[in-house]
Structure 1
Amino acid sequence: MKLQPNNFSLETTTVWSFPERGKWATHSGKYRGNWSPYIPRNLILRYSKQNDWILDQFMGSGTTLVEAKLLNRNAVGIDINPQSVFKSETNLQFKCETQSKIYTKVGSASDLHFIKDNGIDFICTHPPYANIIKYSKDIEGDISLLDVDDFLCKMEIVAKEAYRILKKRKTCAIMMGDIRKNGKVIPLGFLVMNIFLQIGFVNKEIIIKEQHNCRSMQYWKKQNNDFLLLAHEYIFVFQK
């Protein structure tokens, strides 16, 4: 198993594009909506150091945790869906030379009571975009089942918990995309950004990430649309 990407270099601008999503270690694109491992790799290397504690409270298939393990960071991963936690634990079952401590837990991003105040060095996470992709049918507290208004209310609680557990002057990186309803754009990215700013975070970076290999793109290209296809996402890097 190849544990590192070929010819990797750290991103240096605020526009990121990864046509090849990355297949080193146990990474794959089989888990719908997961982010390319190039994203957490860049973020972890830039905003944390070895042996730091990283949190991903929307763990999904464990992409962030796999990168934390490869890069000798400690990490806590949380997901409300037990199947996702099982998938992450499976993806973490590889051997490497680092001494990382990696913990996974079924839980909600809006209730991190088991993490002490100012206990995390870096947050690196990729929440759902409201109910664009539903990750369960009926799990209570699953924000991927919520419409935009309810989603934003829940994200305010998520932001407050993130602020509480993050150390002062440390960073929180979150990827979020806009969505379209009835042909009109809903600027979900900026709405979520504004929530984090109102909680007390400040903007350190706003990164534009180009989308590739989106499953719905080919479908929409065949339709007679009077709108542009969304091909960007935002990575907001906040500082406490």
Structure 2
Amino acid sequence: MKEITHQDHLKFLKKHDHVVIDNVKVPLNANSKIKKFAPSTFTPETTTVWSFPDRGDWATHIGNYRGNWSPYIPRNLILRYTAPGELVLDQMAGSGTTLVECKLLGRRAVGVDINPDAVMVARNRLDFSYATLDADYTAPEIKTYAGDARCLDLIGNETIDLIATHPPYASIIPYSHDREGDLSRVHNIAEFADEMRRVAVECMRVLKQGKHCAILMGDSRRNKHFIPITPRVLMSFLEAGFILREDIIKMQWKMKSTREKWFGKKYDFYLIGHEHLYVFRKPDAEERMAKFKESMKWW
């Protein structure tokens, strides 16, 4: 892990006005003009089916970074599973959606991404002043790093209160062209599952006992047939020792892949319109585990 600070970001801006992610130009704004700091209407989710037709455009949230998740997702997770001042980790932070929500909600955060250009996007979207009428609000410390989710060497054991992250799906959207260790470039599903086991082990190490780890994953399709990636990821985290707290179905809207829509009509298969948001809990050392056996590794 290598820290990328606000000062590093300012130096980067002097020479660059954009980065390129997955062949898409992502502008870096010198001054973010923000119209609103929160969703116009927000009600915390209460069921295991989440649907956000309006993906969210408050603060610096923009949908021009492919594969980033709707800010409604980390907002719900942060409000449910943490208190102000607690520490949130997103170790595949991408454009920084989770980190921006942490800043708005008064949670400290650590963001990590294997692509330094992605970290610059995240730092860029964190670069705004936030004034609130909430007398209890304290501006949180948010640190960002270029690093590998499988080796979080600068994060201590049992220091994190919540993990909320959206990993790449096996070879769906490549976030770098040739960066070693980039999970978005792993094409073999078995290899991807093995690497996610390593991610799960690191999650278990850095997360405090009794705290939660939320992972949004989707499945894929090849040769006109469904590829179940999410069950493999589920098993990876259960094998690492986690307890499954929730399996939330997140509906997909405004999918950019028009090619997939065209192929769906041509080859007569269903478009994948959902993802799985798994919420795991790390057990306490003194817990009686027998009562959770049906929610743990069974094989």
Same fold, TM-score > 0.5, yes or no? yes
Note the C-alpha offset of 1:220: 2.9
Q: 1:232 aligns with which of 267, 271, 274?
A: 274
Matched, 1:203 2:244: yes
Note the C-alpha offset of 1:186: 1.2
Q: 2:122 aligns with which of 88, 93, 97?
A: 88
What secondary structure is seen at the aligned counterpart in 2 of 1:105?
A: strand
Moved over 6 A (4+): none
Matched, 1:12 2:54: no
Note the C-alpha offset of 1:225: 2.0
Percent of pairs with identical residues: 52
* TM-score, normalised relative to structure 2: 0.79
Matched, 1:142 2:176: no
Say what the alpha-carbon RMSD is for the aligned residues.
0.8
Note the C-alpha offset of 1:226: 2.2
Note the C-alpha offset of 1:149: 1.8
Distance in 1 between the 2:255 and 2:169 partners? Answer: 14
Matched, 1:77 2:126: no
What secondary structure is seen at the aligned counterpart in 2 of 1:222?
A: helix
Correspondence list, 1:16-55, <5 A: 16-55=50-89
Task: Provide the residue aligned with 2:166 in structure 1.
Answer: 126
Correspondence list, 1:142-181, <5 A: 142-147=182-187, 148-181=189-222
Note the C-alpha offset of 1:222: 2.8
Unaligned runs of 5+ residues in structure 1 are none
What secondary structure is seen at the aligned counterpart in 2 of 1:46?
A: helix
Kindly name which structure, 1 or 2, has the bigger radius of gyration based on alpha carbons: 2
Unaligned runs of 5+ residues in structure 2 are 1-33, 132-137, 283-299
Task: Provide the residue aligned with 1:215 in structure 2.
Answer: 256
Aligned length: 239
Q: 1:106 aligns with which of 139, 146, 153?
A: 146
Distance in 1 between the 2:261 and 2:205 partners? Answer: 43
Note the C-alpha offset of 1:150: 1.6
Deviations along 1:148-191, whole A, 9 cap, x unmatched? 12211111111000000000010000000011111111111111
What secondary structure is seen at the aligned counterpart in 1 of 2:267?
A: coil
Note the C-alpha offset of 1:103: 0.3
Distance in 2 between the 1:116 and 1:219 partners? Answer: 44
- Which has the higher mean CA deviation after the structures are superposed, 154-163 or 141-150? 141-150
What secondary structure is seen at the aligned counterpart in 1 of 2:237?
A: helix
What secondary structure is seen at the aligned counterpart in 1 of 2:76?
A: helix
Distance in 2 between the 1:113 and 1:221 partners? Answer: 42
What secondary structure is seen at the aligned counterpart in 2 of 1:104?
A: strand
Distance in 1 between the 2:78 and 2:176 partners? Answer: 28
